Amino acid sequence: MSHLSCAIHSNRSSLSRSGFTEGWSSGKVSDKDWPENFRRASSHSRRRHKTALSHTMFRCGISYPRCRWILPLLLLFAIIFDIIAIAAQSGWVEDEGAKTHYASMWKQCRGRSEQWDCKSLMEFPWAQAVAALMIIGLIILVIAFIISFVALCCSLNIALLPLIGGFLILAVIVQIIALIIYPVKFNELIYEGYYDYTWAYGFGWGATILMLGCGILFCCLPRYEEDISGMAKPKYIYTSA
């Protein structure tokens, strides 16, 4: 009992110091008031915790100034992907294991082992159209990259951002047409068996998807001019009342 009495006396003393249970030391407050005073002390503790949180503010959101470097970098990756797709000598389509038939954007090869008979696809009008569209898309992409580098990295020119977005959307449309025409028409050259559209063809789609995403961002960024320039006031998740 002596240990329990000491513990109760300690709790009462701490409550008295908090200002909620004045009278414990003088005996003016009886034991029946203990639950009520304990609840008041708990409420006081919660208010103190909330007050402490009100002085801790967390900033959250997109770091728009970093977009000035990230977007041109993404366009550079798109250029690399496009060059790989266009320059590849194989990898657009092949039969199972590329054992007897494979093709790039420019040619197709039939045969087995080391003996391959390769013929240019440029004798077909559709293949010429695919090559022309892919190259046009790459040229537009390079132009958009150069303008984006000037507009975002050398200086901040918000007026050019929608123009870059328009160039990228145009390049996306051009390359999607090319990437759809190729499998549709190439299937007419397949005699039999199971075929896959493989890595180089995938790089073409990868470049197109990157261009689409960047084009949307470039069209939306003018709304956040102050954020991009770093002049916007920081926004916080939690602020003091």
Place of tokens 């397949």: 190
Q: How many domains does the structure of the chain reveal? A: 2
* Better-scored residue on pLDDT, 49 or 189: 189
Are 42 and 123 found together in one domain?
A: no
Which residue range is the domain that position 19 belongs to? Answer: 2-54
Q: Are residues 36 and 80 in the same domain?
A: no
Query: What does the pLDDT read at residue 209?
Result: 96
Q: Does residue 94 share a domain with residue 6?
A: no
Residue 2 has pLDDT above 60, yes or no: no
**pLDDT (tens digit per residue) in 198-216:** 999 999 999 999 999 999 9
- Same domain as 118, residue 214: yes
Q: Which long-range contacts (CB under 8 A, 24 or more apart) does 178-187 make?
A: 178/129, 178/130, 178/133, 178/134, 178/137, 178/204, 179/204, 179/205, 179/208, 181/126, 181/129, 181/130, 181/133, 182/92, 182/105, 182/126, 182/127, 182/130, 183/93, 185/124, 185/126, 185/127, 186/93, 186/103
- The pLDDT, as a whole number, for residue 43 is 56
Please determine, for residue 23, whether its predicted confidence score (pLDDT) is greater than 60: no
For 12, other C-beta atoms within 10 Å of its C-beta total: 19
Residues 212 and 108 in one domain: yes
> Which is more confidently placed, 191 or 180?
180
Q: Which of 35, 54, 73 is the last residue of a domain?
A: 54
Q: Are 17 and 90 part of one and the same domain?
A: no
Among 17, 33, 54, which residue terminates a domain? 54
pLDDT at 19: 45
Q: Please give the Cα distance from 9 to 54 (Å, whole number).
A: 33
Query: And the tokens for 49?
Result: 């915790």
CB atoms within 10 A of CB 88: 18
**Do residue 101 and residue 125 come from a single domain?**
yes
- Round to whole Å and give the CA distance between 89 and 37: 83
pLDDT of residue 121: 92
Q: Which two tokens stand for residue 34?
A: 């203990």
Mark whether 116 and 50 lie in a shared domain: no
DSSP lists the bridge partners of residue 117 as 110
Question: Reading across the β-sheet that carries 115-120, which strands appear in turn?
Answer: 115-120, 107-112, 101-103, 93-95, 195-197
Query: Whose structure tokens read 């009462």?
Result: 12
Pair (116, 199) in one structural domain? yes
| Separation of alpha carbons 147 and 150, rounded Å | 5
**What is the C-alpha separation between 100 and 97, in angstroms, rounded?**
8
pTM: predicted TM-score of the whole model, two decimal places: 0.68
Residue 158 carries which DSSP code? G
224 within a domain of the structure (yes/no)? yes
